[in-house]
């Protein structure tokens, strides 16, 4: 008998018919002689609706209260059939800490879940939530049901962890953009992490970090069919044979460039400090000294944070002196090439940038990690950029 954790995302439980389909799947898995813990998201759109309601009452809803409200979204899916017992995050023994609306998991005490499993029940566990040591309901950040599922799989030492969604797995690129994108059979945690945090919306990136830390092997697959999905696991030596595993697209990016900064110690700390205080999520950071002795610095960020960034920078700019100027540009997008094979193959950048140049695509800021090359392009060029690079690396073959 195996213990299987199955997570169903918002779209998999988005309609009554789909909920019935999920119930059927869970019962089938149980009938095959397995213990099943199903972790569920709220029906798609419900969390956004709850947040919208809270905002109608108050422009800046109290986050503690918002957590109590949002947590009800995942609790709507009780009664998935006989022998199915529903659990809230608190009942599942998930304790959390940190800020409301973006809590972190402190511990999972699986005693109660184990008791009900041993009695032959199927568990339906509300994702996205836990409870602080004090007893306050806390949610785990948007997309947090993924984290619930991975953490529960780790705590119960599950044999299998399946993340059900509305696509067949992780693709070499978004198939809506690149027609011949292929489903990836296996990828490493690090590759999945780079793809998840660079725009592939398949999974919450924190949940992938957690899976890596606790060695939880999981499969991303489609709740609407029986196709095998994508397995995400620790890397194996043969994985390095493939140079690029996948390409991610991240739209809605913006850039801020500050020029004329006097080259004195401490200006970066000042600038980044102000942006950090405003909780701006910076991505790429670049600085260089121009021949005139002044420094120019650029950052990228999601474009919806641009206004807040400009406001946060105003006092710093004044403090840095009259030569300083701020330029901003929205309407950018980031293309990321990801693959652990990059570590042992050279010329990856050259191939990618040749393909982009041949397609007459202007490229901007570049950032790299050991297993990623990312480049900013105009948002209007991003789809073509993805297609030509996908082709250059033969990913559709």
Give which of ligand ASP, Mg ion, none residue 42 binds (C-beta under 5 to 8 Å, depending on kind): ligand ASP
Question: Nearer Cβ to ligand ASP, position 41 or 300?
Answer: 41
Task: Please report where in the chains the tokens 């990836």 appear, as a residue.
Answer: 184
Among 376, 391, 360, which Cα is nearest to 178's?
391
Q: Report the candidate in 350, 371, 3 with the shortest Cα–Cα distance to residue 192.
A: 371
Gyration radius from the chain CA atoms: 23
| Distance in Å, CB of 7 to ligand ASP, minimum | 9
Indicate which single residue of 5, 6, 8, 10 sits in contact with ligand ASP (rule: CB under 6 A): 10
Pick between residue 113 and residue 149 the one whose CB is nearest to ligand ASP: 149
Question: Three-class SS of residue 35?
Answer: strand
Under the criterion CB under 6 A, does residue 143 sit at the interface with ligand ASP?
A: yes
Between 155 and 202, name the residue whose CB sits nearer to ligand ASP: 202
Stretch that binds ligand ASP, among 13-21, 140-148, 283-291, 299-307 (CB under 6 A): 140-148
- The residue number with the shortest CB distance to ligand ASP is 145
- How far, in Å, are 180, 299, 339 from residue 391 at the CA level? 9, 29, 15
Residue 14 or 339: the one with the smaller Cβ distance to Mg ion is 14
70's enclosing H/E stretch is helix 63-70
By CB under 6 A, which span of 136-144, 256-264, 302-310, 348-356 interacts with ligand ASP? 136-144
Cβ 326 vs Cβ 256: under 8 Å: yes
Site track 267-296 with Mg ion (rule: CB under 5 A), x = hit = ------------------------------
Residue 117 in 3-state DSSP?
helix
Does 104 engage in binding with ligand ASP (CB under 6 A)? Answer: no
Q: Does 138 bind ligand ASP (CB under 6 A)?
A: no
Query: Please, which residues have CB within 8 angstroms of residue 357's CB and are 6 or more apart in sequence?
Result: none
Least distance CB 10 / Mg ion (angstroms): 6
Whether residue 268 contacts residue 396, with contact meaning beta carbons closer than 8 Å, is answered with: no
Nearer to ligand ASP, 51 or 112 (CB): 51
Pair 330, 304: CB distance under 8 Å: no
Closest by Cα among 307, 181, 326, 310 to 249:
181
Rounded to the nearest whole angstrom, what is the least distance from the CB of residue 143 to Mg ion in the complex? 4
145 forms part of the interface with ligand ASP (CB under 6 A): yes
6-65 positions binding Mg ion, by CB under 5 A:
9
Closest CA to 187 of 296, 305, 339, 371: 339
Per CB under 6 A, the segment of 109-117, 138-146, 237-245, 349-357 that binds ligand ASP is 138-146
Residues 210 and 144: beta-carbon distance below 8 Å? no
Judged by CB under 5 A, the residue of 73, 93, 130, 143 near Mg ion is 143
Q: Taking Cα atoms as reference points, which of 380, 340, 339, 336 lies closest to residue 361?
A: 380
Q: Which residues bind ligand ASP (CB under 6 A)?
A: 10, 41-42, 47, 73, 127-128, 142-146
């Amino acid at each position: 008998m195996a213990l299987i954790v199955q997570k169903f995302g918002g779209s998999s439980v988005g309609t009554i018919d789909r909920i019935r389909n999920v119930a059927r799947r869970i019962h089938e898995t149980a009938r095959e002689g397995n213990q099943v813990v199903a972790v569920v998201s709220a029906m798609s759109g419900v969390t956004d609706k709850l947040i919208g309601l809270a905002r109608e009452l108050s422009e800046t809803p109290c986050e503690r209260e918002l957590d109590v409200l949002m947590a009800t979204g995942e609790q709507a899916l009780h009664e998935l059939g006989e022998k199915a017992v529903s659990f809230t995050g608190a009942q599942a023994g998930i304790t959390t800490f940190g800020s409301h609306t973006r809590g972190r998991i402190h511990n999972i005490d699986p005693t109660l879940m184990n008791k009900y499993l041993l009695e032959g029940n199927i568990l339906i566990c509300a994702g996205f939530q836990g409870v602080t040591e004090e007893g306050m309901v806390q949610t785990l950040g948007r997309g947090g049901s993924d984290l619930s599922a991975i953490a529960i799989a780790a705590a119960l030492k599950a044999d299998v962890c399946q993340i059900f969604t509305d696509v067949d797995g992780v693709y070499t690129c978004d198939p809506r953009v690149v027609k011949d994108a292929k489903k990836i059979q296996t990828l490493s945690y690090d590759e999945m992490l780079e793809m998840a945090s660079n725009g592939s919306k398949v999974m919450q990136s924190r949940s992938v970090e957690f899976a890596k830390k606790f060695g939880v092997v999981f499969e991303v697959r489609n709740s609407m069919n029986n196709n095998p999905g994508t397995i995400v696991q620790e890397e194996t030596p043969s994985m390095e044979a493939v140079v690029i595993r996948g390409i991610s697209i991240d739209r809605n990016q913006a850039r801020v460039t500050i020029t004329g900064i006097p080259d004195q110690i401490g200006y970066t700390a000042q600038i980044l400090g102000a942006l950090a205080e405003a909780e701006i999520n910076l991505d790429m950071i670049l600085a260089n000294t121009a021949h005139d002795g002044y420094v120019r610095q650029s950052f990228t960020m999601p474009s919806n944070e641009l206004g807040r960034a400009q406001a946060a920078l105003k006092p710093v700019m004044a403090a840095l002196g009259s030569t300083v100027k701020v330029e901003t540009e929205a309407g950018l997008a980031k293309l990321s090439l990801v693959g652990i094979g990059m570590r042992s193959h050279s010329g990856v950048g050259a191939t990618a940038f040749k393909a982009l140049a041949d397609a007459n695509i202007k490229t901007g800021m570049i950032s790299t990690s050991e297993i990623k090359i990312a480049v900013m392009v105009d948002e209007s060029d991003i789809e073509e950029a993805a297609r030509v690079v996908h082709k250059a690396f033969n990913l559709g073959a």
